[in-house]
Structure 1
Amino acid sequence: MPATPGLLYVVCGPSGVGKTSLVRALVARRPGLALSVSFTTRPPRPGERNGVAYHFVSVERFAAMRTAGEFLEHAQVFDHYYGTSAQAVAQSLAGGQSVVLEIDWQGARQARDRLPGCITVMILPPSVATLRTRLGGRGDDSTLIDRRMRDALAELGHWPEFDYLVINDVFEQALDDLCAITRAAELTRNQQRGWLAANLPELPDASA
């Protein structure tokens, strides 16, 4: 029997909202989920390994991949480009592996267009003041913080496009909310068809 296709979760949120920490904690808590590794043109940061944090590529290679239609989604964030391999995601989903993408709103819009069944989540800060405090805690200068705040508010303005909104005020509560979203998605009628066919084939349409 073919594997039940995996689910694609798209998690977005502006810089400073804590989405990276939440996504990594989500994947650690729910081992049935895999985190997609994006391609990027930005240079590696200390401790980052190629193929683990990102696939680090040149601007020229990224442009060639984009022209060839290899990306499920791609976007420019600040001064660098990011993209998700369409083939890698399709192979994972077809094999029954659910995948989490941590991308920006531009990428989320493209992913929805190409895979309408994906589940989209935006991570929100509890307040604008809290977001600014978190951004300021990185030690950046005020000019950079102001720029990031403008970009953050612009991204948050796209909240109506998302299926779920998770407020990252208390980290553990936000993580519980993310886990609840993924678990509920696994229990839908369509996702349970494989289990029904294997365990309760006597039910009408269980094997359909």
Structure 2
Amino acid sequence: MSEATDRPRSDAVPRHARVDVIGGAIVIFIAGLIWYGAIELNVGQLTRLESGAMPKALSILLFAAGCGVMAKGLMQRDDEAERLQLALGPASIVVIAMLIFGLFIRGGDFGIVSTPQLGLTVVGPLTVFIAGCATPNVRPGELLVTAFGLTAALLLIFADLLGVGVPVFPKFLQNAIPSSLGPDTATRLAYGIYGVLAAVLYAAVFGLGGDRRG
């Protein structure tokens, strides 16, 4: 039984120590970091989204979600509130994954830290894999299939079909792409390779007939 359940109901949890209040504040802080990193990027128009569309939309969604969670914590009755326990739970893992995505997808100077641009080819699989570790009974093989398959889909839809200016490659690799190849062809090669890799991993994990191998 958890400590929050064992404590007497008369022991009121201060608002500043409540799980939902602190969790909401962390999500709002991450949203602010992402917005700050993308503040000089253009959003573009609905028919032609530009590089600032994805990070700014993500920051707005995170801000709204954080405000909702924080408001819930502030309005909770004393006998319903839970005190924050310093443990790496599922919510913390998801927050870490979002923080990695926001800090490293484009990189930049965030005041506290400076991070390199890793692009969607690196941050995409990494974020999905870390976030997937928040689920019970984690299966690394299945997470790898999801990570590479989902990243391939994001590259196809956002970077290629919609033309959103999201960084695809790490900065050093992006600058090394030969002009004869071009960034568009390099992007298509990237999601093609990731798609094939996801299919190979799927066959290895589930078998050709789709049966689970554990």
Give TM-score, length-normalised by structure 1: 0.27
Larger radius of gyration: 2
TM-score (norm 2): 0.26
Higher helix residue share: 2
